[in-house]
Structure 1
Amino acid sequence: MSAAEVYAGIDIGGTTTQVLLCTPDLSVLDRAEVPTPAAAGGHAMMGAALDALRLLLTRGYGRLLGVGVGAAGVVDTGTGRIVVASDSFHDWSGYPVTATIGAALDVPAYLDNDVNAFLRGEVACGAGAGEPDLLGIALGTGVGGALWLDGALYEGPNGAAGEIGHVPGFGELPCTCGGRGHLETLASGRSIATRYAERTGRDATARDVADAAGRGDPDAIAVYDAAAAGIARAALVTAGVLDVTTVVVGGGVSRAWSLLEPAIRRALTAEPPVSGRPVRLLHARLGSDAVALGAASLARTELAADRTGMASAS
């Protein structure tokens, strides 16, 4: 493969859209970040992403081979459409993401859920590199999960495999999804802020709560300890059901790793998996690049599979 061939990865988030241009080995050549015009609708969102990508392509890095996209919500990877999106995204459900990119740039495009893309990125070139079996947990505004089994992403028959953030058994608090007792009620950024406000009457962001815990605030420490205990429980449930004992944790909330890691490890030590094999706890390495790199990795993988299929057919 020529060194003058590149892949693009796009991470469409609720606030910003990040675009990376990568070499075939996923080294980042260039990047752009633009506001996501979520309230303006799907055409505006894709227009912003495409404009950013076109700008990068004008800098002469090479021929674009394919584009991968990671997007929040439920997606149909087969049709390349958004199935369900939150209310913050106007006119996004049903949007033909890959067809729009293909028509605009005349290259193959591929779509995945953002948490799946996060895990793809960490496996391709992050904390999970070389791991055949892995649970990924993304702690952001909500809590997402994804599974990597036998060296490949496992989506399940209904596309919801690994969604540990919305499994009951983590208390009785109401969740944003309409359920109760989900991990998201303890470990998301939104929930950390809510739990702290319930204890203290003070409004704060998850980062504010982390700062307060660092200063010894007992209420802030208790909130993060509860989040850590929930994460440990999620890891242990996965280990018991699937015998997957490696977990990579990322997302914005995981920036408070110095608070989370010791408490997670204490909980894991207190109740090890039934297999007797300890859970390996990994902190994600790619930061805000994870989703876009995972999307680029998806494009690389799918294009390689397409080439193999064509070669076999001939």
Structure 2
Amino acid sequence: MSTHDRTLFAGVDIGGTTTQVVVCDADLTVLDRAETTTPAASGGQAMIDAALGVLAPLLRRTPGRLAGVGVGAAGLVDSAAGRILVASDSFRGWSGFPVSAAVEDVLGVPVFLDNDVNAFLLGEVWGGAVRGEPDVLGIALGTGVGGALWTGGRLFAGPHGAAGEIGHVPGFGDVPCTCGGRGHLETLASGRSIGARYAERTGRLLTAREVADATAHGDEDALAVYRDAGAGLARGIVIAAGLLDITTVVIGGGVARAWHLLEPAVRARLAEEPPVSGHPVRLFRTRLAADAVPVGAASRARLETTGGEAAVAA
């Protein structure tokens, strides 16, 4: 087949800080990729325009026919309607925004919306760290903390679309959360909260990545913030394991780049307080890294447009 005749699928990850875009072939091999800053404070249309702005040159230089687009977006989504239902205060004008329709109007191909962490987990199960696993909890540590469930060989969103949202489990103190609640896991283990907790200790405003860099110089406050994040993450995993009896966990997101700082605290706490089932937690770090969400979103578009079997390789 000529490259001009091949079928293409695009995957988009609209995160709180960065938007990632990939173009894949029918086997979901990434042919090209790009990223841009998410204009989260400028409203839904600005975020879609930014994503399309980086997708357009990828399509121009990648021969083939675009058959569908998958979008993984932060927040609670209505996949069937292609609309954002609830978003954190990191975003302006995002709740209620018709994502699928906005992208379809420009590209003229079917567009499928999913929660970004669902897409992340689908990508990792399709061809990443937990390929072929039947039951997995996915956790994304980014600007916020998101969760998703894969069970019985398929994504489980729950009756209200919020299954697996481990980041908004309470019981982790009393700090206000971005969702309006208090003491959620996100207030310990997200990139935003790591920076905020370090600032409370030191008066210095750093990003989560800068806090991680500070640990290399023996900064005890930076180390303590990451220890607390890891311990909180482990407690959330144990809670999920007790409720769901799922003990395979894949962790991704920007904060997971500092896994060497999180992992010791996570494993120490899990050793002290294992799941009630007695089965040890199997922890995996993302294999697809930044490609996980957009590739997972593209795989959803491939599945929906081809009507084939689930895009999961056993």
For 1:148 and 1:45, how far apart are their aligned partners in 2? 28
Look up the SS of the partner of 2:264 in the other structure: helix
For 1:128 and 1:101, how far apart are their aligned partners in 2? 30
For 2:131 and 2:40, how far apart are their aligned partners in 1? 33
Look up the SS of the partner of 2:72 in the other structure: strand
Shift of residue 67, structure 1, vs aligned partner: 0.6
For 2:42 and 2:198, how far apart are their aligned partners in 1? 33
Name the residue aligned to 2:102. Answer: 100
Q: Structure 2 residue aligned with 1:215, among 210, 214, 217?
A: 217
1:147 and 2:149 aligned: yes
Tell me, which stretches of 5 or more residues in structure 1 are unaligned? 309-314
Provide closer, same or farther for how the CA distance between residues 15 and 245 of structure 1 changes in structure 2, counting only shifts above 3 A. Answer: closer
Name the residue aligned to 1:8. Answer: 10
Provide closer, same or farther for how the CA distance between residues 244 and 45 of structure 1 changes in structure 2, counting only shifts above 3 A. Answer: same
Tell me, which stretches of 5 or more residues in structure 2 are unaligned? 310-314
Q: Structure 1 residue aligned with 2:48, among 46, 49, 52?
A: 46
Name the residue aligned to 2:312. Answer: none
Provide closer, same or farther for how the CA distance between residues 272 and 37 of structure 1 changes in structure 2, counting only shifts above 3 A. Answer: closer
Measured against aligned partners, the alpha-carbon deviations of 1:81-123 in whole angstroms (never above 9, x if no partner) come to 1223345544333222222333332321100111211111111
Q: Structure 1 residue aligned with 2:86, among 79, 84, 87?
A: 84
Q: Structure 2 residue aligned with 1:125, among 127, 131, 136?
A: 127
Look up the SS of the partner of 1:54 in the other structure: helix
Q: Number of paired residues?
A: 307
Letter in 1 for 2:235: R
Provide closer, same or farther for how the CA distance between residues 52 and 173 of structure 1 changes in structure 2, counting only shifts above 3 A. Answer: closer
For 2:36 and 2:212, how far apart are their aligned partners in 1? 28
Measured against aligned partners, the alpha-carbon deviations of 1:227-252 in whole angstroms (never above 9, x if no partner) come to 11111111111111111001111111
Identity value in percent: 67
Contact 2:32-2:62 at 8 Å conserved across structures: no
Name the residue aligned to 1:312. Answer: none
Measured against aligned partners, the alpha-carbon deviations of 1:25-62 in whole angstroms (never above 9, x if no partner) come to 21101123234344443333323333433322222421
TM-score by length of 2: 0.90
Shift of residue 202, structure 1, vs aligned partner: 2.8
For 1:268 and 1:262, how far apart are their aligned partners in 2? 10
Over the aligned positions, Cα root-mean-square deviation in angstroms equals 2.1
Name the residue aligned to 2:295. Answer: 293
For 1:205 and 1:52, how far apart are their aligned partners in 2? 25
Q: Structure 2 residue aligned with 1:245, among 240, 244, 247?
A: 247
Name the residue aligned to 1:136. Answer: 138
For 1:102 and 1:212, how far apart are their aligned partners in 2? 44
Provide closer, same or farther for how the CA distance between residues 101 and 198 of structure 1 changes in structure 2, counting only shifts above 3 A. Answer: closer
